[in-house]
Structure 1
Amino acid sequence: MLDELERSGLGWFWATDAEGALTYLSGAIAERIHVPMEQLIGQPLQSVFKAIDGSGRTKSLSLKLGARKSFSGFAVGSELGESDVVIRLSGRPMVSSSGKFQGFRGTGTDITEEYRREEETERLAKYDSLTGLANRHRMAQIIDSTLTAFRSAKRNCAIMMLDLDRFKQVNDTLGHAAGDELLKEVANRLKRAVEIDCEIGRLGGDEFQIMLPDMDDRGKLGEIASKIIAMLTQPYSLEEGRCVIGGSVGIAIAPHDGVTRDEVVRSADLALYAAKNGGRGQYRFYTGDLENETIFRRRLEGDLLEAIREEQLFLKFQPVVSADTQIVTTLEALVCWNHPQRGEIDEEEFQSIVEGSSLLVDVGEWTIAQACKEASQWPESLRVSVNIPSSQFMADGFVSSVSAALEASDISPTRLELEVKETVFLGDTNVVDKTLAALFKLGARLTLDEFGTGYSSLGYLRRAPFDNIKIGDNFCSAAMDRDSRDLGLVKAIVALAKALGMNTTATGIESVELVDQLRKANVDFLQGAIYSDPVSSSDVLSELASGAWEIEPGSRVKRARRRTVYRKIQVIHDDHSYDVTLRNLSKTGAFIEGLLDVPVDTQFVVDLGGGQLAVATVTRSRGDTQGLEFETQLIDDGAGGLCTRHRVSPYELAAAGAPLAALSTGDYKGMQGGMLNPGQSIPKFSYAQYPASDAA
């Protein structure tokens, strides 16, 4: 009966002598672990079986055997051989009638399938089944436990929130299977991009999160974020086709931007929102000002209707030049906003505001009408192009609005170029074909925009009467990479367009080398910062006044987005803080105004707000103005501005008696330059006196 019980697998048995060596073992166990019985009998129990849950369990088993106590439920695997069987062992000490310890006797049960199921269930509860990254629940647990431990140890921790750009377009054009494959590729690239100790998770959809312990250097964080964005924007070759996406990153640091998980993640979310609204494909650090920026952006979306009615919108134009003659042939219309409180909102920011607005079609109709109106003042040979969102293209009355704009401006339909993206073909086929036919009959030119960045089907070119193909920015820029095949693909697109009687335009060009390569590839038209940034209507008329408008590549340098630095700040010297005006700011220094008779070589601590303190030396001084040189260079903040690498630590503030909390946006003059006790000594510098008009 015992033999049958052992062979059935319902129960196995084992026994040891007083020294712990095996004296009996069910043959079924030996068979399962693929070790001959003669190699097992006489061996210590610990040398035959090992705990599969880590060294702690093995140690516990050894202690129990040594202490001669009963044990049960220990999951073990074979220490010998290569079997992956999992056995649950139980045992109790045997004592003679005289009280002498004689060894252990126990049972064993094969729990391999049960254990693997539990292991898989536990894995699925912690990890994303698609990418293998930590899931939302695990990331929350890890961040919670890490921040709790780091608070007592006074350590920093950075959180990155990452969102993919144009991922929905891949799902819509290539299908969800391609979207899943793409997410796996993104996960692999993220692992390669972040080479330091970190935890990467997928929160769901196309949203990812990265935790970087012991990191508060915003310079290094910016480099990591830039590397992530650069790697994500490289083309993907999927089974369903080729695609290009992008990524935006928001960064927050504990305890500077929050103490608890909820606070830090919310700060990183706000920074991500700002990065996406700033034009996508960029990173942003959290600052206290983002709260107000988010609220203000929502107000801007609500102000759009008034902007249209009050004529606050205006156009800028980016030239498109002939690759052969370098003469401007087309001007692309871009919408800007002269907001009464915010000032000028440029074309990139305006696009991010209007994208999700219900007034997108209204703005689109205004753009076509205004572009035609302004083009009526240009030479007949010069065209104007307008980007048409898919929702506007599919809207009722679209063709009528184009016809009305042409009639009101009295320009030839052939001078209006309408740019549409491949996404319009995802709509109702009947509506798309009907609209395309009506536009062709009207005589307006049609351009397929951003060809090569999505699912570029030749069927689109066969169905639609396009006059021009615009090759996407990322496609063109990648053509200059070493070992890249993109230049060959550009040549293939040009050959295809020629065969179909279409022109080609390459966009996003920023180098003379790329201009030369594209000319050799026989691209017809070129557009990008190497020729010109968007210019105002008055500048267009001024350039056209002297005849044909010709632009040499490189004659206009692309400028970084300008941000106002004319603001009040504080500088600290000895035990006094002074209010001054910051006139300009660079990575290496600043120009301030407001103090008199400041000698060269004077040292200040410059308080840029939000815990940003920079040590600076006066290198130039004239009257009430001083030029400062920073001891440590500032770094890019991801939004076209500058910031310090490090900030005042909230742990320092807590040590000084303040409660541990995220940094406020106020000044931190009390952290440097002595006690700053009023009346302790006489201020060394006096303020300049300005006329009332200047002070205003």
Structure 2
Amino acid sequence: MPVSLRQLLGIREGDDPVFWSRLRATQLFAGRRLAPLVLAANLMSGVAIVMLFQHALPAWWLASWFAALIAIAATVTVRRLRTRHLEEGYASIQDLRDTALEGLALAAMWSFPPLVFASLAPQFTFGLWMVLSVLMAAVAYAMAPLVLAALAFIGGVAFTASLLLLLQQQFLTAGATMMLGAFLAATCLARARFLLMLRAFEMNLSESHETVSLLLGEFEDSGADWLWETDSQRRLCKVSPRLAHALGSTPEQLDGMPVLQALAGASWETGDFAPALRLLADKLKRREAFRDLSLPLTVNGEQRWWEITANPRLDDRGQYVGFRGVGSDVTEQRASADKINRMARFDALTGLPNRLLVNEALGRALAEAERWGSRAAFMMIDLDRFKAVNDTLGHPIGDRLLGRVSERLAELITENELIGRLGGDEFAVVMNDATDASRVEKLAQRIIETLSRPYEVDQHTLYIGASVGVATSPRDGRTAETLIRSADLALYRSKDAGGGVFHAYEPQLHADAEERRVLEMALRRALEKGELHLDYQPVVDAASERLVGFEALLRWCSPEHGTISPAKFIPIAEETRLIGPIGEWVVRTACEEAAHWPDDVRVAVNVSPEQLHNPNFGAVVAQSLATSRLSPHRLELEVTESVFMREATSAVQALERILELGVRLSLDDFGTGYSSLGYLSRTRFSTIKIDRSFVTGASRGVPEALAIIRAVVALANSLGMATTAEGVETADELALIRVLGCSKIQGYHFGRPLPVAEARAIALRNRSATRAA
């Protein structure tokens, strides 16, 4: 262990304060043992000085100095002897620093002879120099452990002695005295450093010995570990009671028994050995060392697992004399490992295999299919309407429902299939042999029918469904990863179809997915590159055909992909959460443009459900109105019924905040989705828009379409709302819509979506025509 000079002198604390406090205690205790020698050296040297100057100086001078010297030397000695308790104790850094005062006090007393006595009797200088040299050597030896005290004393005495010689112009002797002092100081430092390093080594060795003793003690005290030994004939010898107890026998019975017979137990007679026991026999026969060999044993009718390690033994002549090793009972550890392994591969909620085990099973199924030239299949199952159960009844009910789903699925599978839960409400089926395509289809259909039956959970009757995607190897993928991806794409198609169906993978699905991925990447850059723009479609009054507003329609023209339909990129924007920044840009841009129109012309902006679930959307609308200075009543936000399909309370609150700004609300595509009069009564819509499918049906004389339009108009009139018919393209449709009583009309008959410049020109012409009229 390296010891720096500052640590040695007690100027700086060591890295381990406790360890260094023990080392300092060693220094102080070593100084205690040599304290009598220091006292004797001072006494003898003092007597020599008195005898040397007894005829040259007054007796009372010498007596006074000698008495003071004895008092200080005795005090130092008493202080050192009081450190007996530090033999195995601890000492602070201040305790070590205080020893410097002892050295300085003694050095101060020994400054008198050279500076005072020798100045009055210079003829005794050589004798004095000899006494001081011997004294410094004695102190360098006796006070070396207390390096600060020794350096203080040697430095002080060497300095005063050299000063005396310099005053007497004995320069050579003065230089020799300084060199002697330096040599003695270096000797003190070396001895002190060696003492500390030796003590540190002893302490580390002691700790290592204690650690080894503790480990050996724990090994001896552990009932699950034991030593074992064989002779050259592979027979047990020196059998310990612990080994015998572990084998359910006695040392006398086992001593001399072949080790394989002792471990095999009852199977020794039948020869039905475990593979691990045969491996052990081979190792013993080849005289090869082995480590952590796992062995299954049956002890007193109980299954146990051992781990044994051993090395061959050689005598002094290098001859093989047997094996010696150690064994451990790892039954509990193995049970814990099996439990952990099960937890890692089985779902805690349903008890079904989890994603990890499903992937492993699929990999094995694909390997077997390739080996035998057959097919394997993978199904992904997603529950329909499960989220509504969680949202309305809570996750505990949802968890119990998942348990019922897993029970039904488990009833459908045979030895040819493995079913597991991938997470959430997603399940999967691995079919080892899917050569019969009709069998795969029948299983998928049975899964949908079985999971669609009602469930009784905690006095609740629950209805959910299932969508399934199927992929078959090797056509749809040769690896587990590609087959899972193919099944996922097929499942995505089933969900797009409304759920409750299954689809098999088709190459076009991958092409569609790749196109969707490419469009998503392009869409992320479209806004900042200025590729998005708004077109504006006129909305006119049904009776007067006067322009009342425009609907802002988002368009995307990509340099790479051309003009892309909103039906393609709007769903992508909603799924990737890009609809937020895009929607903010649409509202801001539409407000800025509408500010240039006449005051009686409104602008309508479509709002995605994802935007309404953003708590900052109201602030975006308010900021857009304030920046553009557009009157709030000239902005109309169009929402669809899907807004109320989830978290309706949140959507209604967002709409209420927008209404408080004075903005108008329009309900778009009414009647095409989940229609409810409840949200119409809770939310103050100003307009209901009738989808073009009803307009087209009514123009063809479809009774249901005519009845729906009449009902919507009557409902809107009773609630004080206007109605806008979308998709009016011909004069006949216009006439019919007027007869049915719609308030406003929108469609190609009055204008297609127009670029911003043309829309602004129409708006300004409309204002001029209105003024002229």
- TM-score, normalised via structure 1 length: 0.42
Q: Computing the radius of gyration over CA atoms, which structure comes out larger, 1 or 2?
A: 2
> Hey, which of these two has a bigger chunk of helix by percent?
2
Q: Which has the higher contact order (CA 8 A, sep 6+)?
A: 1
- TM-score, normalised via structure 2 length: 0.38
